[in-house]
Amino acid sequence: MTLEEARERAATLRSEIERHNDLYYRAAAPEISDREYDALVEELAAIEREFPELASPDSPTQQVGSDLTEDFPTVEYRVPMLSIENSYNEDEVREFDRRVREGLKLPEGEAVDYTVELKVDGVAVSILYENGRLVRGVTRGDGRQGDDITPNIKTIPAIPNKLKQDISGELEVRGEIYLERKAFEKINAQRQREIEEIEQLNEELKRAGKRLRKLPILYANARNLTAGTLKQKNRRIVRERPLSIFVHGAGYTNVESLPDRHSELLKFFEKLGLRTNPHTRKVRGLDGIREAIQEWEVKRTELTYDTDGLVIKVDRRDWQERLGATSKNPRWAIAYKFSAEEGESVLESVDWQVGRTGAVTPVANLRPVQLAGTTVRRATLHNVDELERLSIRVGDRVIVQKGGEIIPKVVRVLEDQRTGKEEEIPIPETCPSCGTDLVRPEEEVALRCINSACPAQVRERIRHYASRNAMDIDGLGEKIVDQLVDAELVTAIPDLYTLTAEQLATLEGFKEKKIENLLAALDASRGQTLARFLFAIGIRYVGATTANDLARHFGTFDAFRKASHEDLLAVDGVGEKVATSIRQFWENEQNSAMVDRLLELGVNPPPEKAPAAAPAERSEDFDGRTFVLTGELDGMTREEAKAEIERRGGRVTGSVSGKTSVVVTGAKPGSKLDKAKRLGITTWDGDTFREKLARSS
C-alpha cells in the first residue's frame, strides 16, 4: 500500500467508524456487530502503525465512543472512564495474559490472579458518593466527560441514596444499569398494544379524512430501552421501569484503606449496600479463565438478563496501576465476547430504506424469533450484492444471527427446505420515499436516490446536521425532526433558520419555553465552529476527523470552498477519494444553493484559529527551518511537537522534500526516514529533539 492509498483508506475508515459510533451511542441503532466494528478499528490502527504520519490524537483508534446528548449537562471525570478491549477467542486471551505478565516483569511460569465477571449488556454509569450519600450519577459519555443524569439515577431502587456504612470522603463507583429480560418483554408487549390501538384509531381518522397519528415502534432490545430510559426527562417513566444495576469497579476515590484486591473491593461494596454480580469469581491464570469461558458459553442462556461476554481483570489493584492504560483501554482488563447466537426464521417480506446520502438498502421482515434475549422481527440484508450472494427469496427459511449489540442479520438460506412457493425479491427501480429513478454508481454496492429533496434523505440530513458532533443544536432530537418534516415546516436544512414561534406552536408538545429554547439553540448554532460546519453539511467521506483537518488547514470557509483538487490533496488525511468527493459536492448546484442559503440566513462559522502558545526564544536549531515528523515520540503527541517547533520559529510540513531541513524520528518511523536518508537530510531521534527543545526554551 502506498502512502496515498493508505491516506485514502484511513479517511474512509475514520468516516465509517464515526458513523457507527453515532449509530451505537446516540441513535441506539447499531448496524454491525462488535466484532465487525473492532475489525474496522484494527484495520485503521494497522495503517496508522505502518504510516505514523497519518496518526492523530483525534483518530477513532485513540478515542472512546460517546453517548453524550444535548439534553443533559456534562460532567468531567477526574479518572477517565475507559472502554475495555474486546477479544473473541482463546488465542487473544492468551496474548492478553502474556502482555500482563510481561508488563509486570513476572518470572517465567508465574500465574496471575484474575477476577472474571459477566459482561452485562446494559449501560455504563458512574455514581459518586460523598460521606456515604449519593450526590451524582453520570453516563460514560466519551470517557472523559458524561451526561449528568442524577435525578434519574435517584429513582432506581437498586441504587442506594445512602450507603449502609459510614464512610468519610468521596467514593465513585462504576457499574452497569440493565433491565431484566422479562421486564423488557412486558414493556414491549404494552407497546405492541399501543401500536394496535393507534392503528385502529388511524383507520377511523382515515375514513374521516383527518390527519393520522404517528405509530410508535417496538423497542429493539433491553439495552436500547435502558439507554433511552436513563435519558428521559420525565422521572416518572424512569421510576416505572424496573431498572437494576451491578457495580463492578471504582473510579476516583479518596476513601482510606480500600481493599488492595479487586475481588475484595467488590465484597466491600456489598457491605455498603451496593449490588455486585453474584457470579463474579477469582481465578488463577489462563487455566482458570479457560474454565470460566467454557462454563458460561453454556450457562449464559439460564440468566434472567442479557450478557454478551466476560470481563477479565487483574485482581491486584497495585498491579492494575502499574500496568496503566492507553488513551482508550486499561491494560489490565479485557472482554471476552461470546460467539453470536443464531436462530431460524422465515423471510416474510423486504422493505427498502433510504439513508442520508441516498443509499437505498434492503431490510428483512421476519417471522418473530427469540434471539439473544429479544424478539427479532427485522434484520439487515445490507445491499443488492448481499441479496445475490445469499440467493434469498421471500418465503425462505433463513438463519438469523445476533451477537451483542448487533442489529440481526440474515447469514444463510436453508435452500434444501424450499417448497417452490418462494418468490424472487424485486429490486426497486424508483426511490420508495420520493419515486425518483434509482442509480447504481460504478464500483458501489448500494442503490442510490439522487434526489436531494427526497423526504427520507431530508429527515436523515437534518438529524445529522443537528447532531452533537455537527452543529450541536440543543433540543433538535429525532422526534422533533420527525415533527418538523411531517408537518412540512422543514423540507431542507436551511428551513431550520426560518422557523417562527407561530409555526412551532402548531406542533404537539410545543409550549412557550420549549419554543423559546429551540429558537435560541438554532440562533446560537449560526456561530458554530468551522470544523463542525464542514462535518454538518454532509460531504461524503468527510467525517468529524477529516473536517477538523480541513478546518485547520484552510482556516476559513471561503478558502475551503475555493480549494482546488490539488489544494485538497495537500491536506494531511485527505486522499484522492475524499478530494474528489469534496469537489463533486460543490459541483452539484443543489448543494451549493443549500450552503449559499445557509450563509444568507446568518450561518457564519468563524475562522479557525491555531491555539495560542507561550512564546519561546528563537534559536538557530529551529528558526526558519522546515521539519518533518515521523514515528511515535515518547511522551509527546505529534501536535505537541509541532507546536513546540513553531514556537521556536520553525515550520512543520507533512512530506519530505529537498526543502526539508530536519526529519525528527520516533519509534516505528515510516517511509519518510528512508527518503530523508536518500536525500541526505539531517535526522534527529527523540532524545536529540528533546535536547534541542530544552536548549532553546
- What interhelical angle do 90-104 and 285-299 show, nearest 10? 150
CA atoms within 13 A on the CB side of 65: 24
Alpha-carbon span 456 to 551, nearest angstrom: 29
The active-site residue, picked from 105, 119, 164, 672, is 119
Residue 178 in contact with residue 306, Cβ under 8 Å?
yes
Alpha-carbon span 294 to 231, nearest angstrom: 36
Collect all residues with Cβ–Cβ distance below 8 Å to 82 and sequence separation of at least 6. Answer: 64, 143, 325, 328, 329, 330
The C-alpha cell of 572 is what? 494531511
Dihedral sign of CA atoms 102, 104, 107, 113 in order: negative
Pick the closest to residue 447 from 434, 461, 430, 433 (CA basis).
Answer: 430
Q: Within its chain, how far is the Cα of 502 from the centroid?
A: 37
Q: Looking at residue 330, what DSSP letter applies?
A: B
Residue 492 in contact with residue 458, Cβ under 8 Å?
yes
Q: Looking at residue 260, what DSSP letter applies?
A: S
Secondary structure of 497-552 in the HEC alphabet?
HHCCHHHHCCCCCCCHHHHHHHHHHHHHHCCCCHHHHHHHCCCCCCCHHHHHHHHH
Q: What does the CA dihedral 595, 601, 607, 611 come to, rounded to 10 degrees?
A: -110
Alpha-carbon span 660 to 658, nearest angstrom: 6
Active site residue 421: no
Alpha-carbon span 22 to 499, nearest angstrom: 27
Which CA distances in Å does 90 have to 278, 320, 617, 635? 24, 22, 55, 33
The C-alpha cell of 369 is what? 424469533
Q: Looking at residue 301, what DSSP letter applies?
A: G
Alpha-carbon span 408 to 30, nearest angstrom: 10
Tell me which residues are annotated as active site.
Answer: 119
